[in-house]
């Protein structure tokens, strides 16, 4: 990767808006916050913004409260836009309304081309996470990575590799993680905050959702749903459904796990796809104008829950024969 053009922009511009994709995961948030810390240390003005509620599981990330989610009230002025963990403006929601006629830089590890009107795209699909790319960028910038920045990068890498159990886990991933641990990150604390700090309402929502599990394609595909009335019963919200898609995928014999959830907006269904090995869910999501990775992707579809489920299963049956 050639970091020189990105570094020049980071060094010469004085103010930045940093955004990521809707429904941000730990890699997206960790990268936003890590890059903001580095730029602020260089005396830059930085705005952090997201068109989604931040999942409560990520509240342990340093400075996460500085990410603004009220798009309509944003009044900041900035010289350049940095979009992280996302190929461009198509997946950043209403944030796209704020960045017209600005210089846009994307830093991403997803496959496929960057979406116009991106001016500069730093992309490496071979990297396990965008945090891995940022780590290399910081090294090129000769940035001293402090403990909090190390934690943000580690959290992004660890979660995007499924805590080192996904096929994207490489020797380089372990080397970078080891260096971040040497800077003060405590892996057990990160794991505990992510997986041993569940809220009761999230677990109750999961319990209701698990009751909807249904197998398709001779047990090779599994669908799980989250309905609006489940949010009402439990007091939980869409932000509490992070990682739910891994439950249908975890069933023995299932190759494709699917989570369908209401978005609290009438007629909007969010679909998440996860595969174990041979199924390219990026292509499946692409049919519905979504995207992501080979084994982890998603999309948004208009329609009722039943209609959307039928549409997706129809396409799945073409893949799983």
The pLDDT tens digits for 133-162 are 999 999 999 999 999 999 999 999 999 999
The predicted structure's pLDDT at residue 308: 96
Distances (CA, A) of 82 to 36, 100, 185: 10, 13, 26
Q: State the pLDDT at residue 278.
A: 86
- Both tokens of residue 48? 């952090």
Structural domains of the chain, with CATH: 4-195 (3.90.1640.10), 201-319 (3.10.310.30)
Q: How many CA atoms lie within 13 A of 30 on its CB side?
A: 27
Q: What percent of the chain has pLDDT over 70?
A: 100
Whole-number Å distance between alpha carbons of 129 and 271 = 21
pLDDT surpassing 80 at residue 56: yes
Residue 224 and residue 245 in contact, taking contact as beta carbons nearer than 8 Å: yes
Cis omega (within 30 of 0) for bond into 117: yes
Q: What is the Cα–Cα distance from 7 to 281, expressed in whole angstroms? A: 33
- For 138-255, strand residue ranges (E) read 214-216, 221-226
Q: How far is it, in rounded angstroms, from Cα 179 to Cα 176?
A: 5
Give the pLDDT score at 316: 97
What is the four-CA torsion angle of 176, 182, 185, 190, rounded to 10 degrees? Answer: 60
Q: Which residue has the tokens 């010469």?
A: 12
Question: What pLDDT sits at residue 143?
Answer: 95
Q: Determine the pLDDT at residue 277.
A: 81
d(CA 316, CA 244): 20
* β-bridge mates for residue 18, sequence order: 48, 82
Average pLDDT over residues 106-115: 87
Q: What is the mean pLDDT of residues 261-280?
A: 88
pLDDT band at 112 (very low <50, low <70, confident <90, very high): confident
Res 117 pLDDT > 90 = no
């Amino acid at each position: 990767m050639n970091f020189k053009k990105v570094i020049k922009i980071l060094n010469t511009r004085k103010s930045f808006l940093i955004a990521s994709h809707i429904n941000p995961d730990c890699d997206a948030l960790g990268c936003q916050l890590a890059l903001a810390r580095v730029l602020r240390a260089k005396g830059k003005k930085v705005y952090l913004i997201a068109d989604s509620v931040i999942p409560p599981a990520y509240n342990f990330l340093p400075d996460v409260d500085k990410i603004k989610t009220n798009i309509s009230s944003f009044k900041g002025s900035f010289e350049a836009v940095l979009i992280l963990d996302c190929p461009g403006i198509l997946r950043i929601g209403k944030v796209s309304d704020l960045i017209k006629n600005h210089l846009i830089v994307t830093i991403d590890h997803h496959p496929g081309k960057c979406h116009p009107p991106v001016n500069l795209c730093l992309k490496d699909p071979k990297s396990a996470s965008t945090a891995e790319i940022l780590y290399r960028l910081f090294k090129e910038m000769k940035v001293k990575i402090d403990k909090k920045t190390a934690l943000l990068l580690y959290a992004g890498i660890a979660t995007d590799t499924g805590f080192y159990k996904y096929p994207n886990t490489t020797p380089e991933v372990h080397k970078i993680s080891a260096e971040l641990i040497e800077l003060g990150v405590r892996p057990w604390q990160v794991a505990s905050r992510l997986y041993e700090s569940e809220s009761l309402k999230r677990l109750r929502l999961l319990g209701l959702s698990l009751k909807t599990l249904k197998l398709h394609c001779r047990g090779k595909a599994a669908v799980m749903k989250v309905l609006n009335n489940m949010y009402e019963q439990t007091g939980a919200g869409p932000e509490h459904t992070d990682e739910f898609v891994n439950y249908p995928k975890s069933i023995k014999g299932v190759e494709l796990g699917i989570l369908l959830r209401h978005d609290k907006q009438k007629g909007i269904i969010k679909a998440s796809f996860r595969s174990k090995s041979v199924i390219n869910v990026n292509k499946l999501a692409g049919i519905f104008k979504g995207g992501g990775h080979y084994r982890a992707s998603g999309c948004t579809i208009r329609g009722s829950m039943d209609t959307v489920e039928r549409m997706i299963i129809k396409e799945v049956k073409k893949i799983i024969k």
